[in-house]
Amino acid sequence: MSGGKALGGARRRRTRCRRCQACMRTECGECHFCKDMKKFGGPGRMKQSCLLRQCTAPVLPHTAVCFSCGEAGKEDTVDSEEEKFNLSLMECTICNEIIHPSCLKMGKAEGIINDEIPNCWECPKCHKEGKTSKDGGDGSGKRRMDNGEVGRWKLTDDPPPTKKKPPSSSEDGGRQDGHKRKKEKELPQDSGPKKKMKGAHEKRLKKKQKPNASETAESNGPNSSSAGGQSSGGSSNPSQPPTSTASQDQRSHHREKLERFKRMCQLLERVRESSSSSSSSSESDSESDSDSPSGSDGRRGSEPSSPVPPSYSNSARERNRERDRKLAELGFSASEDSEGEGSVKEEEEEVALEEQGVGDKPRRRGEGPPRGRKGLATDGNDEESGERSRKSTPLPPPSPLSSTQPPPSSGHAPPPVSESFSSKRSNGSETRNGRTRAGVRDRETQEKENANNSGGGVSVSNHRHGAAKGNKGNKIRSNKQAGSQPSSRNSSNSSTSASTTTSNGAGGGLLGASGNPPGGVSALAASPRTQPSRMAPRSQMMKRSPPAVPSPPRPVQMERHLVRPPPPCPEPRCLPLDGGSSHVMPRDVWLRVFQHLSQRELCVCMRVCRTWSRWCCDKRLWTQIDLSRQRSITPPMLSGIIRRQPVSLNLGYTNISKKQLMWLINRLQGLLELNVSGCPWSSVSALCQAACPCLRLLDLSRVEDLKDSHLRELLAPPADTRTAHGESRGARFQNVTELRLAGLDLTDATSRLLVRYLPHLTKLDLSQCSNITDQTVHTPDLPDVPTEGEPHARKPGRLCEGD
DNA sequence: TTTAACGTTCTC
DNA sequence: GAGAACGTTAAA
């Protein structure tokens, strides 16, 4: 562990994709592990999932964030495969580092994508250093297991159920054994731990060595892996002298991981075979992998001709700084590190928005040769492949919940990578065995307290977008079929791409304002949503959910967390002092004082103590929130917004995602003014699925790609509320009185929409809408429309429904 | 807070 | 080496 840490790789446990066939099935109740479960009458000691439910595409946890920038995967914010890849999180099987390829300072081309596992690769760094984990067998598709049974992808190469019978048959005995063992352990408690620690370490070393030997053999050629499912695929690094325990540990871990991967692959192979005879080519697959243009090219990764945006870090830093500054101006402290702890952290947790759930993204790079490891094309090539994919593969539907991650760093200068990394750890997901769990616990505790105090938080509905859930995976990869995949309804997000990469500290800071230390960010997860396209074959096995979902993108889990709206009167009523007494000034008086503070100052106050933090969140102090031009809207920000329940929200020129926007809107029922100008339509389209009955002002100026048809979609009432004649009983924005459409590519057709669906419109801004002609201007029931300049007012009440 | 289960260590 | 145990993590 420590070794792993030292090497910078965060060890993150992967988690179920929840979408693959295995994940979707129920426990068999008969396998070894099921029988161990309490629900099946077992002792529950093994704590393993049903053998039939071994996830075939374990994903990175929601909390995963980029080692470099601290943000989650953001592939859903961009369109092209190329960008998606760059913005997705990739976990290196060697160093365990999770990073956005775009954040790499070196040529991405050197990375070797493990197509079998979502968001998995051998990062360019490791690869370049010769750390190849020799998981050569990986993409070879040769790890087919003989037993046609579904196996686990886990390292613990569990024999297939059938094989397992023997042990399970003797289950009772085994159980007893277990008890016995436990008892024995329990008795000599004192010496136990020590022994354990020591022994563990030694064993580790041992383990390491063994695998190495076998690995070497394996590493000699991928073919060797065809030996069978049981083969351990460890990664051998002959080139890496076992210099230290740490490194050994690390390697051991990698090996295990690789094994797991391989196992999974084997499983997939098996499934494929069993599900379709046509899947003839498991082997050829692997071959094609290596043959594949991008594969071979990338693999050997010619020296990265263009090593990644050289200016990235600098510019990003600048932007961060800029953003911090702006946030500060906005009243959100961009950088409260961990200082403000208490209160601050509370939110963090809640916040961890569902954003994380983001997921259902189709696997990136669905184009190329489906499976196996693939080398990244060099930049140039990449582009090409990107192009290709664009042509041949429909764009994956944008994931509704794109999550922009909260940057880990504080508002202070972005910490050096290593620093941010470590801080990240301490904040959230710690490495295994909870060595560093203190921080987390801390937060949890606080959260609890907070929960208690806030008197019943409102649980935000955890609606999982069922549809998304069901379909998204589908859209995913299945590379081979990719070409035929219809890009679904959500036209992909438009290109805010570049912008998304930045956002470091500031974002978190924002919420930091609400008290969240940027570190909280780490808690937010990033979802490893996109994955390299591979597993085409796997698709075949997923019959239930059409487009197979080998490594399902994360389910959309938007609302897993509680985000409590501000209570009418934030508790407590008095300010408790250390001595147990209360401050002489009661809450109401304090609130009056706070009313005279700027939002920025409020943020400062929030860091004073938990009580102030709560009080300062009073929505009366936050009627207007302006986050415009914040490149990264992070979950903490969203949470912070909800907690403050503003009546006016400016999200102009942000890269807020559709999911985020939807999530927000659905929780801001009292919102009167919304500004989403300059945002991409792919995000703004979230409004099509939301209800904003109270909204009075809607600013859609310069929304990217917004067309007449989109506006229609946006303004028209939900289908089920229309009459047979298509007339609306209640348009979505029927109470909007001011609409800003400046700079949009609209035509005169729009005027009809406005007349029809915005009966109370009194102000309309059509400035810089070059396609609007006099016809619109002269539309009788429209407000006096200025095509340039200020929006004009008109006499209200002239519009008629269905007009 | 609870449940599922991953990943490592321990035991046989 | 296989399997059991279990601490810890992730998600609900």
pLDDT at A696: 93
Helix boundaries (H) for A542-676: 587-594, 599-606, 610-615, 635-644, 658-665
CA–C1' gap, A226 and C9, in angstroms? 33
Closest nucleotide (C1' vs CA) to A177 is C4
Closest CA to A704 of A78, A83, A80: A78
Closest nucleotide (C1' vs CA) to A213 is C1
Smallest Cα–C1' distance to nucleotide C12: which residue has it?
Answer: A560
C-beta neighbour count of A249 within 10 angstroms: 22
pLDDT at A608: 79
**Per-residue pLDDT at A416 exceeds 80:** no
pLDDT by residue (tens digit) across A339-355? 333 333 333 333 333 33
CA–C1' gap, A756 and B3, in angstroms? 51
pLDDT at A139: 33
Going by pLDDT thresholds of 50, 70 and 90, the confidence category of residue A785 is: low
Closest nucleotide (C1' vs CA) to A46 is C5
pLDDT at A783: 67
Determine if strand B comes within 7 Å of the CB of A200: yes
Percent of chain A with pLDDT over 70: 39
Closest CA to A319 of A637, A104, A626, A631: A631
**Better pLDDT: A61 or A333:** A61
Cα atoms in the 13 Å half-sphere on the side-chain side of A388: 15
Report the residue count for chain A: 803
Going by pLDDT thresholds of 50, 70 and 90, the confidence category of residue A11 is: low
Going by pLDDT thresholds of 50, 70 and 90, the confidence category of residue A490 is: very low
Contacts of A663 (CB under 8 A, 6+ apart): A353, A354, A355, A401, A558, A559, A638
**Per-residue pLDDT at A204 exceeds 70:** no
Lowest mean pLDDT among A142-146, A604-608, A693-697: A142-146
Secondary structure (DSSP) of A666-682 = TT-TT--EEE-TTSBHH
CA–C1' gap, A529 and B4, in angstroms? 21
Contacts of A428 (CB under 8 A, 6+ apart): A63, A439, A440, A519, A520, A522, A523
Average pLDDT score over residue span A450-460: 36
Secondary structure (DSSP) of A685-701 = GGGGG---TT--EEE-T
pLDDT at A132: 55
- What distance in Å separates the CA atoms of residue A753 and residue A259, rounded to the nearest whole number? 59
CA–C1' gap, A250 and B8, in angstroms? 13
Determine if strand B comes within 7 Å of the CB of A201: yes
CA–C1' gap, A432 and C9, in angstroms? 8
Determine if strand B comes within 7 Å of the CB of A433: yes
Closest nucleotide (C1' vs CA) to A167 is C3
DSSP conformational letter for A113: E
Smallest Cα–C1' distance to nucleotide B1: which residue has it?
Answer: A448
Lowest mean pLDDT among A8-22, A480-494, A772-786: A480-494
The maximal CA–CA distance of chain A, rounded, in angstroms, is 91
pTM for the complete prediction?
0.39
pLDDT at A151: 36
Average pLDDT score over residue span A524-528: 32
Smallest Cα–C1' distance to nucleotide C6: which residue has it?
Answer: A45
Contact A541, A359 (CB under 8 A): no
Closest nucleotide (C1' vs CA) to A59 is C10
Average pLDDT score over residue span A714-742: 70
CA–C1' gap, A555 and C11, in angstroms? 12
- What distance in Å separates the CA atoms of residue A61 and residue A526, rounded to the nearest whole number? 7
Determine if strand B comes within 7 Å of the CB of A444: yes
pLDDT at A348: 37
**Per-residue pLDDT at A406 exceeds 50:** no
**Better pLDDT: A636 or A452:** A636
**Per-residue pLDDT at A256 exceeds 70:** no
Highest mean pLDDT among A106-120, A502-516, A695-709: A695-709
Closest nucleotide (C1' vs CA) to A48 is B5
- What distance in Å separates the CA atoms of residue A466 and residue A449, rounded to the nearest whole number? 33
Which nucleotides of chain C does any protein CB come within 7 A of?
1-12
Closest CA to A679 of A743, A732, A635, A733: A743
CA–C1' gap, A208 and B8, in angstroms? 13
**Per-residue pLDDT at A3 exceeds 50:** no
Average pLDDT score over residue span A465-493: 34
pLDDT at A566: 57
- What distance in Å separates the CA atoms of residue A245 and residue A215, rounded to the nearest whole number? 19
pLDDT at A690: 78
Closest nucleotide (C1' vs CA) to A60 is C10
C-beta neighbour count of A280 within 10 angstroms: 12
**Per-residue pLDDT at A547 exceeds 50:** no
Average pLDDT score over residue span A227-236: 34
pLDDT at A650: 92
pLDDT by residue (tens digit) across A82-141? 888 888 888 887 777 888 888 887 777 778 887 777 888 888 888 777 765 444 333 333
pLDDT at A743: 92
Closest nucleotide (C1' vs CA) to A155 is B7
Contact A474, A292 (CB under 8 A): no
Three-class SS string for A340-383? CHHHHHHHHHHHCCHHHHCCCCCCCCCCCCCCCCEECCCHHHHH
Highest mean pLDDT among A59-63, A369-373, A652-656, A795-799: A652-656
C-beta neighbour count of A221 within 10 angstroms: 12
Mean pLDDT of chain A: 56
Highest mean pLDDT among A465-479, A511-525, A709-723: A709-723
Which nucleotides of chain B does any protein CB come within 7 A of?
1, 4-12
pLDDT at A531: 35
Contact A90, A123 (CB under 8 A): yes
Highest mean pLDDT among A47-51, A520-524, A551-555: A47-51
CA–C1' gap, A133 and B10, in angstroms? 27
Contact A686, A665 (CB under 8 A): yes
Determine if strand B comes within 7 Å of the CB of A251: no
pLDDT at A674: 94
CA–C1' gap, A432 and B8, in angstroms? 9
CA–C1' gap, A304 and C12, in angstroms? 43
CA–C1' gap, A19 and B6, in angstroms? 18
Average pLDDT score over residue span A559-580: 64
- What distance in Å separates the CA atoms of residue A607 and residue A513, rounded to the nearest whole number? 9
pLDDT by residue (tens digit) across A671-684? 899 999 999 998 89
**Per-residue pLDDT at A605 exceeds 70:** yes
Closest nucleotide (C1' vs CA) to A201 is B9
CA–C1' gap, A230 and C1, in angstroms? 12
CA–C1' gap, A157 and C2, in angstroms? 10
pLDDT at A563: 55
Determine if strand B comes within 7 Å of the CB of A801: no
**Better pLDDT: A575 or A293:** A575
- What distance in Å separates the CA atoms of residue A26 and residue A10, rounded to the nearest whole number? 31
Going by pLDDT thresholds of 50, 70 and 90, the confidence category of residue A719 is: low
pLDDT at A79: 76
Going by pLDDT thresholds of 50, 70 and 90, the confidence category of residue A39 is: confident
pLDDT at A120: 84
Average pLDDT score over residue span A47-63: 84
Contacts of A687 (CB under 8 A, 6+ apart): A661, A665, A676, A714, A732
Q: What is the CA radius of gyration of chain A?
A: 28
Smallest Cα–C1' distance to nucleotide C11: which residue has it?
Answer: A560
pLDDT by residue (tens digit) across A181-198? 443 444 433 333 333 333
CA–C1' gap, A167 and C2, in angstroms? 10
pLDDT at A661: 86
